[in-house]
Amino acid sequence: MQLSAVLLARVAFFVESVDLNSHGQAFYPAVIRGLVERYHFQSFPQKIEDYDEQKGVTLAVGTSGDRTIDKVVIYNWGLTIDTRSSTSEAEQLLDEALMWGAANLRLTYNRAMIKRKAYLSQITFNSDAVLLPLNSDLGNIEKAVSEAVSSNLKLRYKFKPVGIMLGADPEEQVIPVQRFSIERRERIAFSENKYFSSAPIPTDLHLSLLAEYERATE
């Protein structure tokens, strides 16, 4: 397996925003200004309507040293951060921002406040292994669909498996959870063996599981 790109590495910290300003001492616009100055965000709230935590207060396109931040969103239930490096780096950046905010912006924060975290890792990669084998019982369906579409369009089409998915039962999802998937990369020829994968887990574990799956299919 050869990693092509990290498309998204997202971490969510579940902590009520009121707990981060437990004594009401932090002035919200001043907090935003401080974060903008420290992380050089190019997009940030401009008017009072932008401070709606139900929809999410968004700061986008920032940096911290040689690390880039795609987006930070502040909700009333917590915060999310998006990068294109890894979830471990995203988590470190969010923790650092909260620690800095506690020291400089009168926020209230310590790591013990974060009881739950959520992750989303999305990558593209190349692999010569047969990652999407066809179940023999589906062979007739593959053939029938290919022949029908080819006949209808008067062009040759051959249908093959394009993905696998794992998901949590909606009945169990008090907190919504993304699916785990391995799919052929959209608009890329099958012959290029390029894939997209999404997983609700840290990037390092995501890559490890994909490598393990690849070895099992060889």
> Sorting pLDDT into bands at 50, 70 and 90, what band is 30?
very high
pLDDT > 90? residue 80: yes
> Sorting pLDDT into bands at 50, 70 and 90, what band is 170?
very high
> Sorting pLDDT into bands at 50, 70 and 90, what band is 138?
confident
Residues of the chain above pLDDT 90, percent: 91
Residues of the chain above pLDDT 70, percent: 100
What is the identity of the amino acid at 79?
L
CA 98 to chain centroid, in Å, comes to 20
Buried b (16+ CB within 10 A) or exposed e, 147-175: eeeeeeeeeeeebeeeeeeeeeeeeeeee
Burial bucket for residue 9 (CB in 10 Å: 0-12, 13-18, 19+): buried
pTM for this entry: 0.92
> Sorting pLDDT into bands at 50, 70 and 90, what band is 61?
very high
CA 59 to chain centroid, in Å, comes to 17
- Ordered structural domains, the chain, with CATH: 10-118 (3.30.310), 123-217 (no CATH)
